[in-house]
A and B are shown apart, each in its own frame.
Chain A
Amino acid sequence: MTAVIETQDMPVGHQGPPLLSVRGVKTYYGNIIALKGVDVDVHPGEIVTLIGANGAGKSTLMMTIFGSPQARTGTVTFDGRDITRMPTHEIARLRIAQSPEGRRIFPRMTVLENLQMGASLDNLRYFDEDVERMFTLFPRLKERAAQRGGTLSGGEQQMLAIARALMARPRLLMLDEPSLGLAPLIVKQIFDAIRDLNRNEGLTVFLVEQNAFHALKLAHRGYVMVNGLVTMSGTGKELLANPEVRAAYLEGGHH
């Protein structure tokens, strides 16, 4: 197979100051260190992906950005503001939205109510409009609007988790393994939706993924995390072509 793979070109905002900037972040669970000094930048309009093996610290980084757990040293800056010590709900109010690991939708609430919760920040001001957008993006959710979240299929739950995050009209969308446990067709649907949102609305996305091939194809840039440290970074194309990345994350699957 040749190394010619179609990837994303750099977006316009790349040259300016980063929207999200993580500097020298160390995070501990009790005495155990999970992040050992991590630097990551996300520029406006970019899709940035973070790949790495199980237990590398990807979810920990995402949650550290969200202030739970907080970084012990280092800084997290969003749009020029230091958010390292902010409580989670205030970080969310800066319009950082998240589809966390395990999706965490509200199981006893209906799809529509879950979306309502996503729109809490604006007190439902744009609710009707935004719900329509979500239903266009994920038509499955419209069919299931009155169904309880807990009874949705895994893929539908993932769509709901992303849609709920988007309801907050985020400036930065963080997704933790949106492809986990999903059929290839659904993964493609979800990744296409992310690409469309990025192209059409300039949405900035930080994507944690195990599915390295698809993630690197989708992303403008990527980081590779090993054992709580970022060991490599580059454009999606560079990382896809990198022999080390290929050996560790791409060989033997995903194509």
Chain B
Amino acid sequence: MSAEMERPVAGPNYAAAARDAVLAGVIALGVFGPLIGFKTEQNMNNQLVVENRWGIVIVIVAIVVIGRFLLKAFVFPALVTRKANAGPASTDESFFKRNFKTIGLAFLLLYPVIIVSMLGYQQSIKWVDNFGIQILIYVMLGWGLNIVVGLAGLLDLGYVAFYAVGAYSYALLSSHFGFSFWLLLPLSGILAAMWGVILGFPVLRLRGDYLAIVTLAFGEIIRLVLINWREVTNGSAGISSIPKVDIFGWITFNVADPTYIGKILDLPPSSAYYKIFLYYLILALALFTAFVTLRLRRLPIGRAWEALREDEVACRSLGINTTNTKLTAFALGAMFGGFAGSFFAARQGFVSPESFVFLESAVIVAIVVLGGMGSMVGVAIAAAAMIGGTEILRELSFLKAVFGPEFNPDQFRMLIFGLAMVTIMVWKPRGFVGNREPTAFLHEKKSVSGSLVQEGHG
């Protein structure tokens, strides 16, 4: 058989692409015509009138046709060629990949500086706060939950409960007793860890789906307690005017204080300083989480977590106390959730049960799964993509030009979130970084080439 025949056609085949595009257009018209083309409105006499929206339909169909044509004519052939050349080419682009962690870290450290120097203090707030801090909170939550779900393999759908415990611990203890953030941060972590153990005990025997359901219920219980225990938590109204964080009492962020940062550094008052400070604070907390996790992975407890995820029975017969192993995973994961929670309360200045709904847990689990169940870098990428993506959606005002002035991209957040998840799972079924990094190596560095030991050979 000749090799030529096997070769996929690499060059663009415009006729086939055009045929395909027209077909896709017809289908799109069939689907979206009735769905979007007609809209019933009540008029002044309370009658339903049908309104036509052919403009939008035409735009959508045009997007489908052009998109399909481009995919068919250019993208698919390009993918095929790239796959065919994948072998040697991939080693060239690996400078970025190899140094991804260093580059990423440098970027994170410099991010506020870059933004401020580009946009000035006032304009930087949105980028530091909505993007930087918001994403990093989820990176931290993802890394915390990663211990439970990614490493120990315990599907916890109620992680937000520990986030809530941390947030309310800070909110209540700081507003009632005036304790400082630096005292309450570890305290919230400890309280959350305690709740982690309390949840851990009853679910020790459960696995998989059953564990997921019970943890989900636990998350809801905590939220309902927060709503109904009005005397303490102020119910659904929440707790407001939670004190800001200060820098160990030396520097504060309240304009009225004599120690206000602007007065000390001789800068004009601006709320940007507090945001930048918070950015570095959450960055430090997240990196602390990463550091602890990476260290633990090399210790007996971390190895036990990963072994537990793979085979609980085998673990026990190797002398591992699976009860303690699970409880420490729950406790540590919860502790980091608690840290993130107290940070969240300090940043918002306001907490209410609204912030701790099941959807939050789902988003955090999604981040861990998309990241590749256990990979720190993967979780960070997933958090940036999912949270950054939904934040960017707010910015896309040009969509209003296309879909009319009442179009509010925010309403489509969950839809797009879901679509993105499906797409990522199809494109990378094992998450962004599906390959688990081994923690043990032979001492004599035998020259076993990396490609040989990849999964799939053998």
Contacts and interface: CB of A to CB of B under 8 A. Distances in A.
Same complex for A and B? Answer yes
Interface of A: 66, 68, 87-90, 92-93, 97-98, 100, 104-110, 112-113, 116-118, 120-121, 123, 128, 144-148, 151-153, 164, 168
B440 A113 contact: yes
Contacts of B314: 100, 104-106, 117
Contact of A108 (B310, B448, B456): B310
Ranked nearest first, the 6 interchain pairs of A and B with the lowest CB-CB distance are: A92-B319, A106-B310, A104-B314, A146-B453, A88-B316, A151-B458
A195 B455 CA distance: 33
A86 to B, nearest CB: 11
Interface string B441-458: 111000010000101111
Contacts of B249: none
A147 B458 contact: yes
A97 B317 CA distance: 7
B438 A66 contact: no
B307 interface: yes
Contacts of A88: 316-317
A146 B307 contact: no
17 contacts: A88-B316, A88-B317, A90-B319, A92-B316, A98-B317, A104-B311, A108-B306, A108-B309, A109-B306, A112-B441, A113-B303, A116-B440, A117-B318, A147-B453, A147-B457, A148-B455, A152-B458
A153 B458 CA distance: 7
Contact of B310 (A89, A107, A120, A151): A107
Contact of B320 (A112, A120, A146, A147): A120
B318 A168 contact: yes
A131 B436 CA distance: 22
A83 to B, nearest CB: 13
Interface string B414-440: 000000000000000000000010111
A186 B112 CA distance: 61
Given A108-B306, A120-B318, 8 more contacts: A108-B310, A108-B436, A109-B310, A113-B440, A146-B442, A147-B457, A153-B458, A168-B319
A93 B321 CA distance: 10
B276 interface: no
A68 B314 CA distance: 11
Interface in B302-329: 303-304, 306-307, 309-311, 313-322
B316 A128 contact: no
A122 to B, nearest CB: 10
B300 interface: yes
Contacts of A108: 306, 309-310, 436
Given A120-B304, A153-B458, A89 B442 contact: no
Contacts of A153: 458
Nearest to A128: B443
A93 B304 CA distance: 15
A89 B300 contact: no
A117 B440 CA distance: 11
A150 to B, nearest CB: 8
Given A117-B307, A151-B458, A112 B442 contact: yes
B442 A145 contact: yes
B319 A93 contact: yes
Contacts of A148: 455
A89 B321 CA distance: 6
Contacts of A113: 303, 438-440
Contact of A146 (B311, B313, B436, B448): B448
A214 B307 CA distance: 33
Nearest to B306: A109
A36 B334 CA distance: 46
A175 B321 CA distance: 22
A137 B313 CA distance: 26
Nearest to A127: B440
Contacts of A104: 311, 313-314
Contacts of A92: 316-319
A100 B439 CA distance: 25
B455 A146 contact: no
A153 B457 CA distance: 11
B319 A146 contact: no
A120 B300 contact: yes
Contacts of B456: 151
Contact of A68 (B313, B319, B436, B441): B313
B442 A118 contact: no
Most buried by A among B303, B317, B439, B448: B317
Contacts of A128: 443
Interface in B179-230: none
A11 B240 CA distance: 79
A192 to B, nearest CB: 24
Contacts of B457: 147, 151
A90 B311 CA distance: 18
Contact of A120 (B303, B306, B453): B303
A66 B314 CA distance: 11
Contacts of A107: 310
Contacts of B442: 112, 145-146
